[in-house]
Amino acid sequence: MIDLISVLSVLNQFVIVAVVITAISMLLYTLTFNLRDRVAQAMNILLACVTLIYLSDVVASVATQKDVARIWLYCQWAGISMVPAGYLHFSDALLAKTGKPSRGRRRTLVYITYFLGLCAIGLALLTGLVVEKMVVNTTIQWFSPGEWFSLFSVVFLIATLTAAINVYRAFMRCLTRSTRRRLGYLVISSLAVPIGVFPYLMSVGGSILQNHPTFFWITSLIANVAVSVALVSMTYSVAFFGAPQPDRVIKGRLFQWILRGPIVASLSAGAYLFVRWMDRMIGLDLTLWVPVAVVGVVLLVQYAITVIRLPFEQQYFYGNSSDRDDVKRLQMLGDRLLTTGDLRQFLESVLAAACDVLHISSGFVASVGYNIARIEVEIGSHALPTKSDTLVSFLNSESYKIDGDNSANNNALGTLEWDGYWIIPLRTQTIIRHSTEQGALMGILGLHMPGLISDVHLSEEFSTLQTLVERATSALEDRLLQVEVFRAMDKLLPQVEELQRMRAAASYAGTSALTAGDLADNPDAAEWVKSALGHFWGGPRLSESPLMTLNVVRQTQAHHQGNAVNALREVLKKAIEEMKPEGQRRFTGEWLLYNILELKFLQGLKVRDVALRLSVSEADLYRKQRVAVDEVLKRIAQMEGNADGTVR
């Protein structure tokens, strides 16, 4: 008969492994796609704590030596101790994201909570006030509580409630339906993390495990499942913060990440645990079946993902039917795109077929643009024709036309002889179909063939050659149309990206995100300022700086006879002067940022000389320089905000 406790224990072990995998996967996701956002950065700390807690639990449960298990239990305690601080930090960043930045009190409370978490870790390592000896059960280990564990529990509870209130306040500040829904997920899921990781076994002792094992394992199983679901829900909600991509892209990317990461890895681990459990239950050695089960699960799950992922995304992530049709058309363009390599491969096939039909060994296909011929593919060893520019000019001239006389003279392809080659012009077919005039010249098909042109037009191979010419012309025309599409996209994409960025910001920050300038939030703005300062007294990084488009620079141009470079130089200098402390100049900490900017950029001293004058190391100078550049950026952003108009 199957032991229920054994089944629950194995299931709980599987869920714990799944939580570890999920936490690591979600941490990697935010580090990969959403690293710069403050909310995501705070959540990364929380994810790191959860990862440490559950990873330590897994390793401690399989450790064969008590000392090793004790070390991992201390690591688990470190993660538990930092969860309240991470949760409070996350809630503070979330409130700031929704337009309620901290005025100092919330941030101070976050620092205090981090300090208390570090104190709890230190007390656990050095004393027995918070945790005491390790208690070992058949399948799990835990610390017995110390005298101050109750105090730790109170601090844990207060920090958790404070953070939950902050998250709820952020939820109440959201106005749109989609943001309220996502923040609603965050209210519940973020609260589930500290509730799920709290060391209840230390509070109630091991009696519940001995007297009510079924209740213990079911409760533990539910809590661990809740934490796993909460991590995914939090990552889903936070993935939209600061992301300029449309919602469907974020959803599809996260959906694929979850399927190919946590789902595949967790089911593979589950297959391993199931085989090992069956090994113990039936008393047979099933070690050889472990790799079979794991590999089988990986293959089956990957197959299922490949089959269902795209239809699922298109059905549930791409909006209504018209939106789905638009996205499908763009995806079809990407799937069927005729790249330059594809074009050359196709033209090479056409050229080879033409040479085979005419029983010749040399030929070429060239594309024509701006009256210049460029060889795309060539076959054979014969020298290519010379004076290609003259040839192109002649084919485009009024004296060369494909008219009725050409057709009557069996020269429907407009073939002419040039430098030992038969030249067949490839013209746009779209114009030919709707007009009596010849189309624009796109390319040239050259065939090295002796004999009269009329001989080929009268031969049986002419119809085949004509078909091949049409194929080559169609390929060149399709490529030209794609180039036009790409040019239109190049103009459209920056505007679309800016609209998506404002849409994402306005979802949480409201009106200010739509009306305020975006300079301070631009991830590249600090580099723009640094580059402009590097060429402060002249250079392309100043004269070609994106900062030239700022309204404050345009307004300052009026004082410099329209000279934009001098205007930008004045704006930068004014921003630096605003950082100058009052009083006589000194080489103290208060003056450090201003001195770095003034010596390094305005006076143009070398890094070594600046470091010597300020009595700092070069490494420290570079760190302080980044801070100083950020301060200059803030002041320029303030000037831009006070200028008329907005920057986009």
pLDDT of residue 396: 67
The mean pLDDT of the chain is 81
**pLDDT, tens only, 266-291:** 999 888 888 888 887 777 777 788 88
Q: Is the pLDDT of residue 587 over 50?
A: yes
pLDDT of residue 49: 94
Residue 466 in contact with residue 473, Cβ under 8 Å? Answer: no
Residues in the chain: 648
pLDDT of residue 113: 96
Residue 135 in contact with residue 142, Cβ under 8 Å? Answer: yes
The closest alpha carbon to 429, from 456, 466, 392, belongs to 466
**pLDDT, tens only, 601-615:** 888 888 888 888 888
pLDDT band at residue 398 using 50, 70 and 90 as cut-offs? low
Residue 432 in contact with residue 438, Cβ under 8 Å? Answer: yes
Find the mean pLDDT for residues 588-609.
84
Q: Is the pLDDT of residue 435 over 50?
A: no
pLDDT of residue 520: 60
Distance CA 540, CA 136 (A): 69
What tokens appear for 427 in the block? 């013209």
| Per CATH, domain 340-482 is 3.40.50 | no
Find the mean pLDDT for residues 618-624.
83
Residue type, 375: I
The closest alpha carbon to 169, from 105, 92, 84, 235, belongs to 92
Q: Is the pLDDT of residue 432 over 50?
A: no
**Is the C-alpha dihedral spanning 102, 105, 108, 109 positive or negative?**
negative
Find the mean pLDDT for residues 401-405.
46
**Is the C-alpha dihedral spanning 572, 577, 580, 586 positive or negative?**
positive
Residue type, 63: A
User: Helices 321-335 and 289-316, interaxial angle, to 10°?
Assistant: 120
pLDDT higher at 283 or 147:
147
Q: Give the rounded percent of residues in the chain with a pLDDT score beyond 90.
A: 20
Distance CA 57, CA 73 (A): 7
3-state secondary structure (DSSP) of residue 144: strand
Chain-centroid distance, C-alpha 272: 33
Find the mean pLDDT for residues 552-564.
79
**Tokens 């320029």 sit on residue:** 636
* In 98-176, alpha helices (H): 105-126, 149-173
pLDDT of residue 544: 78
3-state secondary structure (DSSP) of residue 78: helix
DSSP class of 424: E
Q: Is the pLDDT of residue 417 over 90?
A: no
The closest alpha carbon to 327, from 250, 254, 258, 249, belongs to 249
Q: Is the pLDDT of residue 155 over 70?
A: yes
Q: Residue 16: how many CA atoms within 13 Å on its side-chain side?
A: 22
pLDDT band at residue 341 using 50, 70 and 90 as cut-offs? confident
Fold matches, 4-244 and 340-482? no
Residue 633 in contact with residue 524, Cβ under 8 Å? Answer: no
- Assigned CATH topology for domain 4-244: Rhopdopsin 7-helix transmembrane proteins (1.20.1070)
Could you tell me the residue ranges of all domains in the chain?
Answer: 4-244, 340-482, 525-642
pLDDT of residue 1: 47
Find the mean pLDDT for residues 545-567.
80
pTM as predicted: 0.65
Q: Is the pLDDT of residue 403 over 60?
A: no
Distance CA 378, CA 351 (A): 8
Instruction: Name residues whose C-beta falls within 8 Å of residue 198's C-beta, 6 or more positions apart in sequence.
Output: 80, 153, 156
pLDDT of residue 389: 67
Q: Is the pLDDT of residue 402 over 70?
A: no
Distance CA 189, CA 229 (A): 8
Distance CA 468, CA 456 (A): 14
Task: Measure the CA angle with vertex 37, ends 33 and 39; round to 5°.
Answer: 110
pLDDT of residue 434: 41
Find the mean pLDDT for residues 290-319.
86
Residue type, 478: D
The closest alpha carbon to 431, from 446, 415, 442, 444, belongs to 442
Q: Is the pLDDT of residue 303 over 60?
A: yes
Residue type, 529: V
pLDDT of residue 409: 46
Q: Is 283 exposed, middle or buried (0-12, 13-18, 19+ CB in 10 A)?
A: exposed
pLDDT band at residue 582 using 50, 70 and 90 as cut-offs? confident
pLDDT of residue 404: 40
pLDDT of residue 613: 83
pLDDT higher at 566 or 34:
566
pLDDT of residue 647: 34
The closest alpha carbon to 542, from 488, 602, 586, 499, belongs to 602
**pLDDT, tens only, 72-107:** 999 999 999 999 999 999 999 888 888 777 777 888
| Low-confidence winner among 32-41, 199-208, 344-353, 416-425 (lowest mean pLDDT) | 199-208
pLDDT band at residue 526 using 50, 70 and 90 as cut-offs? confident
The closest alpha carbon to 159, from 128, 126, 190, belongs to 190
Q: Cα dist. 467→354, 357, 456, 471 in Å?
A: 10, 12, 14, 6
**Tokens 């001989």 sit on residue:** 455
**Tokens 């300090």 sit on residue:** 115
**pLDDT, tens only, 481-524:** 888 888 887 777 766 666 666 666 555 555 444 444 556 656 67
Strands 363-369 and 421-427: unpaired
